[in-house]
């Protein structure tokens, strides 16, 4: 998730609270008391259990405002009584998301980056935190940059002013009164001149902003610099410049020149070099210092070079046709206890040995791996035995045993793949993650399941920064090892946003980072439709979204199996049952007359064609809906063992198959076979 603004990134993480005014203190100031938006009770704003999504918090009534919890990379600067404390210059220079405070007299800045020492409340009117606090959120913003690390700004600009306020016991004088402090030092003046070289003097907006900023230089020290810069423009007029300079400019500072130049890519040599911006996917490169990793690591190529490089290349294929792409990461989510582990075990058995009930198409058998942090080896073995028995896989057979040796299981209980890094909000891979490529290479796996992601990831699953880093790291492993990786994850009621249920956990970054996503959802009994599990394809970057299918747990074996189309039809269509009996009766009549109802489902002599020739009033040739329902009826009769296929020959001795009705006294009745 690469948000274009800080406020949008804030709204995508569940760190939200609500607050209301408390009783006034001895100074008559009413505190802003944090409350849990889900319970409505007062709460500890630093406890993640009390946080929720922005949408849920915003929907709460009876409170005075929203709050946002800092920490885990989120930073905040509080500018109290901006005019009274002379903080307008800092407010103008600050980056990130800036908004007015509830009183309207102060401002808040929110950023994202590395931790820094807390600057607590003092006479300066400045506070800065990277953890342990929450900030009110009014939405009354006046600047909304992409995510920005505030740590360098706090160290270089905020901390000195805060320290001065602490030392003298009073706020710094307003910016307009700082002339008595003497002129700016030569180094700062040189930095201003350097920065001005990056600002377009022909822009009217920039021209006014620079004049306003440089007029704040003490002792009128910015006049000559501003005029020389203005003269670079063909539009410059000395009289107009003098008139503009004479205006009463408020709420500006010479530091605004630095901000304007930085927006053009200028690097300020005055920033402290020992405070490096955090290198993460959203703000890896800091143009102010040149530190961080350049976003342009790969060479630029034109289309001819690309074609020459990748001639004959194609997009990845599929391990499971349409559903699970090769060499990439798929997210498989669902309700807790719905059967995700069993469904993915069945999928693995289908891929390596054509076993199990999952209605997937697999063109080539490949080795499979299953890493489980949730179930022990013993539980997995019992589940596999049940799946094989229910799908008539004969364990002990030479062919089956050879294929099942290609299905490897590893119990990773207690191991983690990604962990928090205090110096990097993206986190870092663990030794187990670093060993994963070698594990894949050793087993030869082309499909690896990891169950489940909430256990193997030691970070906030709702934080987009580590989520994106973790998935991208796995995607690289998948590409390098030519192995598809499937992540299993639970979806709880807490994943709901308002009244809309999400089909994945945590942040939107999970959905954005993967290239394919599968969701299992329990569907409650509704009328004649029994309870079942719906498996849907929620995302596919390599092909069309596949049609959903239904599973139902067999009452006798307890194993998930497809809820067939004819079962669905019977559940939702009261007339389907009588149609099944009519088709069975007509097959019996054709059989008694020594006429064949062919098995073929396509061509000039399908089962429906045969029925239409014999019983034209019941089976209109042009009725597409009736054709579909008859096809489902024949499938139901076959599954129930009431009809069976029999080999026959036409007059030219060409073989074909026909449907034969079985009567209850037939020894093959209910078995679906015939001699």
pLDDT tens, residue by residue, 152-174 = 889 888 888 887 764 433 333 33
> Considering the domain boundaries, does residue 46 fall inside one?
yes
Domain containing residue 588: CATH number: 1.10.10
> Considering the domain boundaries, does residue 311 fall inside one?
no
CB 650, CB 669: distance < 8 Å: no
Q: Give the 3-state secondary structure of residue 553.
A: strand
Spell out the alpha helix ranges (H) of 421-506: 431-443, 453-456, 464-481
- Read off the tokens for 387: 């799946």
Q: Which of 104, 138, 172 is the last residue of a domain?
A: 172
At 247-285, the pLDDT tens digits run: 876 556 787 787 777 667 666 555 434 444 433 333 333
Q: Look at residues 428, 434, 499 and name the one whose alpha carbon lies nearest to residue 459.
A: 428
pLDDT at position 574: 61
At 434-455, the pLDDT tens digits run: 889 988 998 999 999 999 888 8
Q: How far apart are CA 143 and CA 97, in angstroms?
A: 6
> Considering the domain boundaries, does residue 355 fall inside one?
yes
Mean pLDDT on 274-298: 42
> Considering the domain boundaries, does residue 361 fall inside one?
yes
Rounded to the nearest integer, the mean pLDDT of the chain is 80
> Considering the domain boundaries, does residue 54 fall inside one?
yes
- Read off the tokens for 423: 């110096």
Q: Confidence class of residue 647 from pLDDT cuts 50, 70 and 90?
A: confident
Mean pLDDT on 506-514: 77
pLDDT at position 293: 41
Is 374 found in the same domain as 510?
yes
Q: Burial letters for 262-279: b for 16+ Cβ neighbours within 10 Å, e otherwise?
A: beeebbbebbeeebbbbb
- Read off the tokens for 171: 């706020």
Is 11 found in the same domain as 55?
yes
Q: How many CB atoms lie within 10 A of CB 87?
A: 28
Is 208 found in the same domain as 162?
no
Q: Which of 173-177, 200-204, 492-496 has the lowest mean pLDDT?
A: 173-177
pLDDT at position 65: 92
Q: How far apart are CA 599 and CA 182, in angstroms?
A: 99
Quote the distance between the C-alpha of residue 2 and its chain's center.
10
pLDDT at position 513: 85
Is 603 found in the same domain as 488?
no
Is 460 found in the same domain as 597?
no
Query: What total of structural domains would you count in the chain?
Result: 4
Is 160 found in the same domain as 111?
yes
Q: How far apart are CA 407 and CA 487, in angstroms?
A: 17
pLDDT at position 138: 92
Q: Which domain holds residue 214?
A: 180-262
> Considering the domain boundaries, does residue 296 fall inside one?
no
| Orientation of helix 255-262 relative to helix 186-196, angle to 10° | 40
Residue 667, burial from CB neighbour count under 10 angstroms (0-12, 13-18, 19+) = exposed
Q: Confidence class of residue 673 from pLDDT cuts 50, 70 and 90?
A: very low
Is 534 found in the same domain as 625?
no
> Considering the domain boundaries, does residue 142 fall inside one?
yes
> Considering the domain boundaries, does residue 286 fall inside one?
no
Q: Which of 502, 535, 563 is the last residue of a domain?
A: 563
Q: How far apart are CA 101 and CA 82, in angstroms?
A: 10
Q: Which residues contact 22 (CB under 8 A, 6 or more apart)?
A: 30, 31, 32, 33
Is 429 found in the same domain as 375?
yes
Q: 500: which DSSP letter?
A: B
Q: Which of 531, 563, 595 is the last residue of a domain?
A: 563
Is 432 found in the same domain as 338?
yes
Is 452 found in the same domain as 341?
yes
Q: Which of 149-158, 255-264, 340-349, 620-629 has the lowest mean pLDDT?
A: 255-264
Is 167 found in the same domain as 186?
no
Is 78 found in the same domain as 34?
yes
């Amino acid at each position: 998730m690469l948000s274009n603004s800080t406020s949008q990134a804030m709204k995508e993480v569940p760190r939200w609270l609500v607050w209301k005014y408390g009783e006034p203190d001895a100074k008559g100031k009413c505190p802003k008391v944090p409350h849990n938006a889900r319970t409505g009770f007062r709460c500890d704003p630093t406890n993640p259990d009390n946080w929720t999504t922005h949408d849920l918090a915003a929907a709460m009534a009876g409170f005075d405002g929203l709050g946002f919890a800092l920490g885990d990379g989120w930073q905040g600067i509080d500018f109290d009584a901006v005019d009274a404390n002379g903080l307008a210059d800092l407010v103008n220079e600050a980056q990130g998301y800036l908004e007015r405070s509830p009183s309207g007299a102060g401002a808040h800045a929110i950023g994202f980056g590395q931790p820094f020492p807390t600057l607590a409340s003092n006479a300066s009117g400045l506070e800065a935190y990277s953890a342990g606090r929450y900030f009110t959120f009014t939405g009354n913003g006046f600047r909304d940059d992409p995510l920005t690390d505030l740590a360098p700004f706090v160290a270089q600009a905020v901390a000195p002013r805060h320290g001065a306020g602490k030392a003298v016991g009073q706020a710094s004088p307003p910016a307009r009164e700082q002339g008595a402090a003497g002129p700016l030092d030569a180094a700062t003046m040189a930095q201003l001149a350097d920065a001005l070289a990056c600002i377009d003097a022909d822009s009217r907006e920039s021209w006014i902003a620079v004049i306003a900023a440089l007029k704040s230089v003490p002792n009128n020290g910015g006049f000559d610099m501003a005029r020389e810069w203005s003269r670079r423009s063909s539009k410059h007029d000395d009289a107009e410049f003098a008139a503009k300079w004479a205006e009463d400019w408020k709420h500006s500072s010479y530091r605004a020149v630095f901000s304007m130049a930085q927006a053009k890519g200028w690097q300020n040599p005055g920033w402290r070099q020992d405070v490096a911006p955090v290198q993460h996917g959203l703000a890896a490169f800091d143009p102010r210092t040149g530190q961080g990793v350049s976003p342009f690591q790969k060479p630029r190529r034109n289309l001819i070079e690309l074609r020459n490089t990748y001639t004959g290349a194609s997009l990845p294929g599929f391990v499971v046709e349409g559903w699970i792409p090769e060499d990439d990461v798929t997210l498989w989510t669902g309700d807790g206890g719905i059967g995700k582990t069993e469904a993915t075990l069945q999928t693995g058995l289908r891929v390596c040995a054509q076993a199990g009930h999952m209605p997937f198409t697999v063109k080539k058998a490949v080795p499979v791996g299953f890493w489980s942090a949730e179930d022990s080896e013993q539980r997995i073995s019992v589940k596999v035995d049940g799946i094989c028995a229910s799908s008539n896989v004969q364990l002990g057979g030479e062919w089956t045993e050879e294929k099942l040796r290609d299905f490897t299981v590893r119990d990773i209980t207690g191991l983690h793949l990604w962990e928090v890094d205090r110096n990097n909000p993206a986190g870092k891979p663990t030794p187990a993650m670093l060993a994963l490529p070698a594990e894949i290479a050793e087993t030869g796996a082309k499909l690896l399941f990891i169950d489940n992601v909430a256990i193997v990831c030691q970070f906030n699953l709702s934080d987009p920064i580590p989520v994106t880093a973790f998935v991208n790291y796995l995607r690289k492993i998948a590409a390098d090892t030519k192995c598809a990786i499937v992540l299993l994850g639970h979806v709880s009621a807490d994943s709901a946003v308002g009244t809309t249920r999400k089909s994945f956990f945590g942040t939107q970054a999970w959905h954005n980072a993967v290239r394919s996503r599968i969701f299992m959802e329990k569907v409650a009994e509704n009328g004649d439709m029994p309870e079942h599990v719906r498996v849907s394809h929620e995302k596919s970057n390599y092909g069309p979204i596949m049609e959903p299918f239904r599973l139902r747990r067999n009452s006798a074996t307890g194993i998930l199996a497809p809820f067939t189309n004819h079962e669905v039809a019977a559940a939702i269509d009261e007339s389907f049952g009588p149609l099944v009996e009519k088709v069975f009766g007509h097959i019996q009549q054709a059989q008694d007359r020594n006429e064949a109802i062919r098995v073929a489902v396509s061509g000039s002599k399908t089962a429906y064609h045969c029925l239409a020739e014999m019983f034209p009033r019941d089976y209109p040739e042009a009725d597409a809906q009736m054709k579909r329902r008859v096809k489902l009826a024949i499938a139901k009769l076959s599954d129930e063992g009431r009809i069976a296929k029999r080999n026959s020959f036409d007059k030219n001795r060409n073989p074909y198959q026909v449907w034969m009705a079985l009567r209850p006294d037939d020894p093959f009745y209910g078995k679906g076979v015939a001699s």
